[in-house]
Amino acid sequence: MVRMIMHGCNGKMGQVITEICRKDSEIEIVAGVDPYTGVENAYPVFSSIEECEVEADVVVDFAAAGAVDSLLDYCVKRRLPVVLCTTGLNEAQLAQVEETGRQVAVLKSANMSLGVNTLMDLLKSAAKVLATAGFDIEIVEKHHNQKVDAPSGTALALADSINEALDQAYEYKYDRTQERKKRDKKEIGIQAVRGGSIVGEHEVIFAGMDEVIEMKHTAYSKSIFGKGAVEAAKFLAGKPAGRYDMKDVIAAGK
């Protein structure tokens, strides 16, 4: 049985994962962390990670970017593997993630779904052919009106996947309102839409002369992220220090 701490347990994803774990005999949430207290849970909840002294095998994080620094410090201090799903981290935090990965097992992924992680691979081969043929690349993401970061972590990860296949030759363009000039060939445009209860849509557009290819992932419920995170927690518990991603979890499940 894997013992898990749920960081951000009273948020939308924290509650989706609480429900998944309740029905899974291989994993148990032994403690939660959240400063928001308006939710009843079957496990003890602490208002900050430092207060949690419960024995565990792994931490799963869906909270807020501002909470990541203290979470990483805690995981190093307690030698705990961590599945990091919160998006919107700044450069300093991304560097801290790398440093933490030298001391404990860290799996960071902006999207825990099988679909998006498969799309990342498909994009690499498409980009190699289409960019060489002169196609422009644009990404449009859509999310609910409660999301605080933009563009989404997934949109950035999709762009990174494409750029990796293209020898990092592309710049990301988030805003076209500040200058009057034509689009540069070596750019990936990234646009964010926010509204209603949209769970998450990511569309990658390859636009060429007289033809367009669109590759799109639509999340119809948050459970796809929750299921992936729980599988990642089971995978990461007991792993040595290092950086892991969802591709490792998917490969281990085959």
Ligand X SMILES: O=C(O)C1=N[C@H](C(=O)O)C[C@H](O)C1
Ligand Y SMILES: NC(=O)C1=CN([C@@H]2O[C@H](COP(=O)(O)OP(=O)(O)OC[C@H]3O[C@@H](n4cnc5c(N)ncnc54)[C@H](O)[C@@H]3O)[C@@H](O)[C@H]2O)C=CC1
Interface positions with ligand Y (CB under 6 A): 7-8, 10-14, 33-36, 62-64, 67, 85-88, 109-112, 149, 225
Q: Which amino acid is at 21?
A: C
Minimum Å gap between C-beta 218 and ligand X is 10
Catalytic residue chosen out of the listed positions 143, 202, 217, 234: 143
Query: What is the DSSP-derived secondary structure letter of residue 28?
Result: E
Query: Which structure tokens are listed for 180?
Result: 């009057």
Contact 32, 47 (CB under 8 A): no
Q: Which does 143 bind (CB under 5 to 8 A by kind): ligand X, ligand Y, none?
A: ligand X
Instruction: Give me the residues that bind ligand X (CB under 6 A), please.
Output: 87, 110-111, 143, 147, 152-154, 200
Minimum Å gap between C-beta 147 and ligand Y is 6
Minimum Å gap between C-beta 16 and ligand Y is 8
Query: Which structure tokens are listed for 72?
Result: 């990483």
Q: Which does 86 bind (CB under 5 to 8 A by kind): ligand X, ligand Y, none?
A: ligand Y
Nearer to ligand Y, 59 or 165 (CB): 59
Question: Which residues, 6+ apart, have CB-to-CB distance to 34 below 8 Å?
Answer: 7, 8, 9, 10, 11, 14, 45, 47, 63
Catalytic residue chosen out of the listed positions 124, 128, 147, 227: 147
Q: What is the dihedral of CA 62, 64, 67, 71, to 10 degrees?
A: 10
Nearer to ligand X, 96 or 152 (CB): 152
- Please tell me the distance from the alpha carbon of residue 180 to that of residue 23, in angstroms, as a whole number: 55
Q: Which does 33 bind (CB under 5 to 8 A by kind): ligand X, ligand Y, none?
A: ligand Y
Nearer to ligand X, 17 or 110 (CB): 110
Active site residue 147: yes
- Please tell me the distance from the alpha carbon of residue 118 to that of residue 20, in angstroms, as a whole number: 23
- Please tell me the distance from the alpha carbon of residue 213 to that of residue 216, in angstroms, as a whole number: 10
Give the number of other Cβ atoms within 10 Å of residue 240's Cβ: 7
Nearer to ligand Y, 64 or 241 (CB): 64
Active site residue 185: no
Supply the residues annotated as catalytic. 143, 147
